[in-house]
Every structure is written in structure tokens, then in C-alpha cells.
Amino acid sequence: MTTQGEAMAARPARPRVGGERELLGAYLDFHRATVLAKLTGLDDDVLRRPVAPTTMSPLGLLRHLTYGERYWFSYVFAGDEVSVPQAAGDQDREWQVGPDESAAGLRAEYEAQLVRSRAVLAAHGLDDLARRPPDGEPHSLRFVLVHVLEETARHVGHLDVLREALDGTTGE
């Protein structure tokens, strides 16, 4: 089994020089890999456990990030007909993990969505506009990319706190 330290060491490099698309994409991929690394080495029962005083669990956070990627890249920007709780006004569902759902299954779902998100990003210009903006106002792919980067990085911080509370592991 891979350790969290090994998973952290295997994250993609963050370039210090490059174009806007390359830098933003690389930083988003770095934070996406950090999300998965933070889950590495813990069993399903621990990953499902909320940490007081919040009801947030690592797997619930992973589910939320999966739906966030799907919502912004697939549903809002690409206009795909995909199931997203946000579109149905059911934000609570995106945090819920059923007792029959495994960490491996949720991780695979996240990774599959990342493939789709990267494909959308690669196929369009940063100034291209979303097909289904949530508030009717124009949203560029640049906005979607920066917003998902911001959300993912913010939730990496939450995973830091959750992981330390669950097993004492700290670090970037």
C-alpha cells in the first residue's frame, strides 16, 4: 500500500515559468493530487468518519470536489447533461457518502471526472464562454479554471485539518 508520504512525493511538479494555461492547469493538478494523497493510507471507516465539531469527513469532501469539478467543467462550461446536486438545489447530497460506497470507488469517480475536466480545458480557449452559466451572466473558461483551483486548494486545507485530527499526520 502506498503511504501518504509516497503519494505526496509523486505529485506533479509546479512549474515556475510558463503560459497562463500551463501554470494554472499545473497548479490545479498539484492540488488535485494533494487531495488524493491526503486520503492515502486511511481505511474506509476512518475516511468516512466526521471530525468534530464539523460533520465533514474526508470522503464527503472528496465527493464534494467530484461534484464541483463535474458542475463547473461539465455542466456549466461544456453544457453536458450530467447529474449534479447543485443544479437540482440539493447541496447537502454532494457531501453525503453511503455506507456501501468505498474510498476506492469514490476516488475512481473523482479521477474519472478529472479526465473529463482536463479534456474540456484542453479543447477550449480560456476566453471561451460557458454554455450554461448559473446566474445567466457570462463565465469564461478562465473563470471556471481559477474558481475550481481556488476551491480545490481551499479544501486541501480542510483535508490537512481532518487528516491531523484522524491520525495525527501533518504536512503539505
Give the contacts of 99 (CB within 8 A, at least 6 positions apart): 48
Alpha carbon dihedral 115, 105, 148, 26, in 10-degree steps, equals: -50
Give the tens place of pLDDT for each residue, 53-80.
Answer: 888 899 999 999 999 999 999 999 999 9
Give me the mean pLDDT over the 129-135 stretch.
Answer: 94
- The confidence score (pLDDT) of residue 123 equals 98
Please indicate whether residue 1 or residue 124 has the higher confidence score (pLDDT).
124
* Helix ranges (DSSP H) in 43-135: 44-48, 58-69, 103-123
Give the tens place of pLDDT for each residue, 14-46.
Answer: 888 889 999 999 999 999 999 999 999 999 999
| Residue 106's CATH number | 1.20.120.450
Range of the domain at 84: 4-167
Give the predicted TM-score (pTM) of the model. 0.88
- 161 domain residue, yes or no: yes
Interatomic CA distance for residues 126 and 29, integer angstroms: 17
Give the tens place of pLDDT for each residue, 97-118.
Answer: 999 999 999 999 999 999 999 9
For residue 15 the three cell numbers come to 512549474
- 172 domain residue, yes or no: no
Residue 12 exposure: Cα atoms within 13 Å on the Cβ side: 16
Number of domains in the chain: 1
Interatomic CA distance for residues 41 and 22, integer angstroms: 30
Whether residue 76 contacts residue 135, with contact meaning beta carbons closer than 8 Å, is answered with no
Give the tens place of pLDDT for each residue, 137-149.
Answer: 999 999 999 999 9
